Every structure is written in C-alpha cells, then in structure tokens.
Structure 1
C-alpha cells in the first residue's frame, strides 16, 4: 500500500533516539512500533506499516512526498489478520518486488531500498523508501488462466467481469489471451468487488482506464514469460497504480508479483481440470477451513493460531517461489 495525499491516518509519536526493535508477542519484529530515527509511524495495513518523515533531513534527500514502506511477517486470510506470523515473509515480499521492478522496466514508486540508500538498518531487507502516489481506487487484475473467483463467475454466466469466454473451460484452463478483470477497492475488512471495464471508465475516465488496462496486461505478459522460463506459471496477478504528482506519470505502486498478490503454479505439475498447488498461503487457507482448526468461518470470531507445521510449510513455499523466480538463494 502506498499512502495517498488524501489519506489521513492518526500518527503515533516515536521516542527520539536510535532504532530499537520492538517486542512482539507473536515472536517476530513488531514493525508497527519501531523507533526509527527520522521516521514517524502513521498507518498499519494487513501486512505493511507506513512511516513518514519526522524531520527535515529525509525530505532534503528524497523530497517531502516520500514514505517508508515496511513489510511485516503478518499473514491474512479470509479478511482476518492471523495471530501467527510467517518468519521472513516481509523480507521475501520486499526482495521479490524489488527484483520484479528491475525486470519490468516500468515507472515505479521505489526511491531506495538499502541502508546505504537511506533505509533504516532495523528494517533492512523488508523496507523501501517510496514516492507517495495519488492511488487509483481500482485493483488492476490480469488473468491468463481461469480459476478462483473468475471460475465461479464463469460457471454461472460464461463470463469473467462480463467478458465472454469460450464454453468448455475448466479450473486451470489457459485463456487464449490474458484478460483485464478489475475490482473496486473495498473498506478494510470487506471484500473487493469485481467490476467491469466500463465501471473503471466511470471511476477514472476513458483515457486513464485504457492506460491502466494496457499497463496491467503488458506487465502480466512480460512477467508470465519470465516466470514460465523458470518453470513457474503465473496464473493471475494484481497490481496497483497511482499518479506521481511531480510528473503526472501513472506509476506502479504497492508490491508487485509476489505470492501475496499473484497465483504462481509449478509448471511441472500443472493439470487443467483440478485445483493447482500454489506458491502462496494456500496451506493456511486449507488448514483454517479444515476440521482440525475448529474455526467456523461464518462465525464472528478471529481465526486460531496456526500450527508450527503450517507456518513452516507456508514459509517454505514463499522461499521456493523467490528462489525459483530470481535464481538466487534466500538468506
């Protein structure tokens, strides 16, 4: 998530001094309450914590419209942030996003990502200094394969976001060409709503809607080819864009092509007509909906803590996705 100019979260005031890792009852680094010299915490989302400059030093280097985006190890499922965390998840998401930004060659929001570049040492590897963007109220989704919510709509109407698709497709079918299936951003704790392209036009105007669609499909096409060369299928992905106020350029923000924002499948085990094992939090979803969890998803109660084996297997899938895509060992 990137802070927009219209966002007005209530700031918390850190004590002055050197950065001090905060204690976390979940066992990891509490990225929402860090004392980071020069930065002030203003907002926490499901996974990321945002800090803005607290003095004049950082704006002198990056400009006033910058934000420190810190990826935590929190994990969410079914619109709940879980009591358990996945070790190293924030570092994996950040490092994989940075790798993809390099591969894609599109305008993006990252200004710095290293300690030498200005990132505080306490959050090295899991944080980026980014431009603030005026974000569009649209989740830009590209689908190259039929699955998930798209499959449910297709089974009912033969369409996905009102785009007609051929008859006879099954779970995991590869589409003849990738399609743009946007959703409207929902309030925290609620589901995003799939919308039509015409609805996007109504929200942002015809020219901007066309640009968002073209950028999204271009990113998917490039990334799908890169992933396929590495033995991974990119089934679908979500990206977000905003406008850089200084340049007026539509700019890629948030995270990009991570297991949290994309469906990655192993090409070696891909079989249309069945659910595909994915490099994401599927282990978490499966356990939460199993009898073993004892959790009733329909009840107004938080999910239970995850067993150690579910945490370990989920971390392993995130690490495997990072290593297969980048060709680098995660350390």
Structure 2
C-alpha cells in the first residue's frame, strides 16, 4: 500500500469525468467505465482534509478481492484492475496503482441493499423508538449489539443528494417490482451469510453491510464496492460485547476525534491531526491484511 495520498485523479485521467463522489470518481471509457478510488475520507456528510494515505488502495483492492471470491455466487461488474492495461488514458500509472477498476456498464438499481446481522447503529436507534427496523417488527427487550436469530434485509432508497432513505420491503416492491425486490433480498442475504462465515474464521464479525446492484442485459449483477470498511461494519471478535459502543474496524478514529471537539457540524471541520490520520491508515491496512490472509491451520 503506497504512502502517497491521492485526493483526486482528475488531472491524471485522459477521459471524461462522469461523476465525483465523496471517495470515488467515475470516468467514461466508452464501452466500459473506469472507477478510481481516492484517499478522500468523509464523516457527517463532509469530505475532510487531509486525505488518508492507503485508504483508496485498501478499498479498491478489498473490493476486487471480494468480487473475485464471490463470483461463483453471482456475476459482478469487474472487467479488470490493471492500471497498466489502460495505456495512454492514465498519465501517471504509479499514482493510480491499485486504485482503478474497469467495470461493465450496468444500469444502477436505485436501492441500497442493507443486511443487518446485529442490532446496532441506525437500526438500534430505530428499534429504540419504534420497536421496528424498516417496518420489520422485532422482539421486545433486544439489547444493543445482539445478534438477530436470522439476518434482516433493510433496504434504503438511494439519494444522490443528502441521506439515503430507509424504506420497507413493501415500499421497495412498489419502486422496483416485487420480483426484482425479492431477488435483491435473496442475493443480499446469500452474500452476507457467505462473508459473515468467511470473516468469522478470521476473528472478525461482519455486523452489517450494504450492496448495490445493476442490470446488465436484463440480468442482475453486483456493482460498486463490497465488504469494505466504507460499506460494512466490522468488529474484532475479541471486542464484542452487548450494551456498549463497539470500536469498529474502520474510520472510527476520525469519528471519535470529531465527536470530542467543539465542531458544530454545520461547516467543514479543521484539518485532522496527523495522529488521527495515521491511526485511520493503520485501521484500513489492518482490516485488509486480516481479511485477505489465509486462515492459520492448527495442525
């Protein structure tokens, strides 16, 4: 994982920029799309400074790892991740090493498919106020971080401006049709079960995650990113407890730092201290190493 932080690739790519998200940039290659993952980091809807070295390469290479690992379960959008195969399109291949993903052009389905294996985060807050999550009625007396008997599917309507909106399964069926809604639910739960078991073998709990899907030639495929610290909540098995705020294996150092300042959340905060940035880089590289490492045999 390189130490040079990348805040944008706009000056490094000789192709039209289609979309610039908080972290990813999407470029038009004609038949295909080019995704470049930068080191930008966001929290509380603000993109923060400075970028976090190695974050983008971790996100991209971890997604590539999972896409390859799950391709026997369902098709995905990956064509290749070789920056050198892009030729003259890339002006500085070294700066973009490990950050690119050439992808098939799929029609994005505007639903964020969220699977929760444990009651925490926004799901816990919903449950505390209504006894439900996304219209799913849950047993009384559940405790924070408790595992559900079976993981639950809690979709959100994608919103390119502002927050995605939590919706019920019935609302999702109204939006995309019952057949497609049920297919997305089934595939999301299947992928979660697979990754949850994989992570458990490595001492990691996959608490929840989100997927995006697209349609290509009438078939549902997996797109965007999967099972990264930006799209999933990972817990170290050794730190799992009920009724506490578990320190998740992601950008928690950034969130904790900001929560401990007098920042008003109505304007962009000041630059992150070097120590917070370094610890965040360490978190991202650590989760990558733990997930991609083979399980140690006891024999």
Inter-partner Cα distance in structure 1 for 2:109 and 2:287:
29
Counterpart of 1:295 in structure 2 is 263
Q: Is the 8 A contact 2:119 2:147 kept in 1?
A: yes
1:160-184 CA-to-partner distances (Å, cap 9, x unmatched) read 1111112221111011000000111
Separation of aligned partners in 2, 1:44 and 1:195: 26
Pairwise CA distance, 1:31: 2.7
Shift of 1:287: 1.0
- Alignment partner of 1:179 out of 149, 152, 157: 152
Give the corresponding residue for 1:33. 10
Find the counterpart in structure 2 of residue 248 from structure 1: 218
- The yes-or-no answer on 1:164 pairing with 2:134 is no
Of the candidates 26, 46, 50, which is equivalent to residue 50 of structure 1?
A: 26
Task: List runs of 5+ in structure 1 lacking aligned partners.
Answer: 1-26, 54-63
- Per-residue CA distance 1:248-286 (angstroms, 9 max, x = gap): 110100011000000000001211121111111111111
Partner of 2:198: 226
Question: What CA RMSD, in Å, does the superposition of the two structures yield over aligned residues?
Answer: 1.5
TM-score, normalised via structure 1 length: 0.82
Q: Which range moves more in the overlay, 67-76 or 303-312? A: 303-312
Which 4+ runs in 1 deviate beyond 3 A? Answer: 115-120
Query: Using the alignment, how far apart are the partners of 2:78 and 2:11 within structure 1?
Result: 21
CA distance in 2, matches of 1:28, 1:274: 34
CA apart distance, 1:78: 0.6
Q: Which runs of 5+ in 2 are unaligned?
A: 295-299
Question: How many residues matched?
Answer: 284
TM-score by length of 2: 0.91
Q: Please report how far the alpha carbon of residue 116 of structure 1 lies from its aligned counterpart in structure 2 after TM superposition.
A: 5.2
Contact kept? 2:154, 2:169, Cα under 8 Å: yes
Of the three residues 263, 269, 274, the one matched with 2:244 is 274
Alpha-carbon offset, residue 30 of structure 1: 4.0
Partner of 1:85, secondary structure, is coil
**Structure of greater relative contact order (alpha carbons < 8 Å, 6+ residues apart):** 2
Q: Which residue of 1 aligns with 2:128?
A: 155
